[in-house]
Amino acid sequence: MEPALSVVKGVTRLRLRVKPGASRLAVLGRTHLAEDLEAVALAISAPPEGGKANEAVVALLAKAWRIPKSRILIVAGATARTKTIEIAGDVADVSATLGAWLASLPVV
């Protein structure tokens, strides 16, 4: 199983599985994708049109992690439900913080 959190070329990356148009805005937990990949499942109330869902993803995670939205960048899957984001900052600090956050999430 490939973990959701990784460090690639000195940048911290996180794989997400987004459910746009949901009735609530929430981090649901860790999930397993068919490709034997782990991802963080998110419920987003914004519709998947005009980048609204992507903006909601960034806002939700920035609030959860208490960091500026400008530190989160969607680098893959902008028009797909499975996305990869990069989180700017010191790789060791970001990886440690997000690793602990991931460990606290339930498996869904």
- Domain boundary assignment for the chain: 5-104
Q: Is the pLDDT of residue 78 over 90?
A: yes
Q: What is the mean pLDDT of the chain?
A: 96
Looking at the chain, list the stretches that DSSP marks H as alpha helix, in order from N- to C-terminal side: 52-65, 91-104
Q: Is the pLDDT of residue 20 over 90?
A: yes
Mean pLDDT, residues 72-95: 97
How would you classify residue 35: left for phi > 0, otherwise alpha for psi between -120 and 50, otherwise beta? alpha
Strand pairing partners for 84?
A: 15, 76
- DSSP label at residue 87: E
Q: According to the model, what pLDDT value does residue 74 have?
A: 98
Q: According to the model, what pLDDT value does residue 35 have?
A: 87
The class of domain 5-104 in CATH terms is: alpha beta
3-state secondary structure (DSSP) of residue 19 = strand
Q: Is the pLDDT of residue 70 over 90?
A: yes
Instruction: Give dist(CA 102, CA 95) in Å, integer.
Output: 10
